Structure 1
Amino acid sequence: MIFVALTLSIAGMAGIAFWAYRNVAPGADRLPMQWSTTGTVNWRAPRLIAIAAAPVLMLALIGLIFVFSRDDHAERDMALLWISFIAPALQAMHMALVARTVENEE
């Protein structure tokens, strides 16, 4: 069951990334990656890196979980379950913040 949730999560994140690449600030070469506490953009990344960052980080984290919890399957499954729910939500939130920031700048 955990692998079904993980597969759906990865597919969902790929879908969010494809949608965001086409629809979020299509004319912008660089997208916001970090905001200060006052709401100003601290730094921007090239478009492809900004959109692919969350899925790549999720895949790296999945790999680390498999490496470091290979002896405890219950711990591994719980960590993967949490990641499969949290990562797509964080990616969607990041893309929503990017869209809002770019829209407000125009």
Structure 2
Amino acid sequence: MVYVLLAVSIAAMAGIAIWAYRNIAPDADRLPMQWSASGEINWRAPRLIAIAVTPLLMLSLMVVIFVFSRHDHAERDMALMWISFIGPALQAVHIALMARAIENEE
């Protein structure tokens, strides 16, 4: 069951990334990546990196969890389940913040 949830999570993150690449400021070369506490943009990354970083980080985290908790299957499955929920949510928040920042610049 956990593996089905992981597959759905990865597919959701891929879908969010594809949608964002096509719709979030398609003419911009660089997109916001980090904001200060006051809401100012600290730095920007190239477009492809900015959109792909969250799914790649989540996939890396899934692999690390899978490798280092091989002996405790219940712990591994619980951690992977949480990551499968948190990953797409974090990506959606990041994409929404990017879209809002770009909209406010115009």
Q: By how many angstroms is 1:31 displaced?
A: 0.4
Aligned-CA RMSD value: 0.4
Structure 2 partner of 1:63: 63
Q: How does 1:20-39 map to 2 (within 5 A)?
A: 20-39=20-39
Q: Which runs of 5+ in 2 are unaligned?
A: none
What TM-score do the two structures reach when normalised by structure 2?
A: 0.99
Size of the aligned set, in residue pairs, is 106
- CA separation in 1, counterparts of 2:28 and 2:104? 13
Matched, 1:42 2:31: no
Structure 1 partner of 2:85: 85
Structure 2 partner of 1:5: 5
- CA separation in 2, counterparts of 1:52 and 1:72? 31
4+ runs deviating over 3 angstroms: none
Structure 2 partner of 1:72: 72
What TM-score do the two structures reach when normalised by structure 1?
A: 0.99
- CA separation in 2, counterparts of 1:8 and 1:44? 29
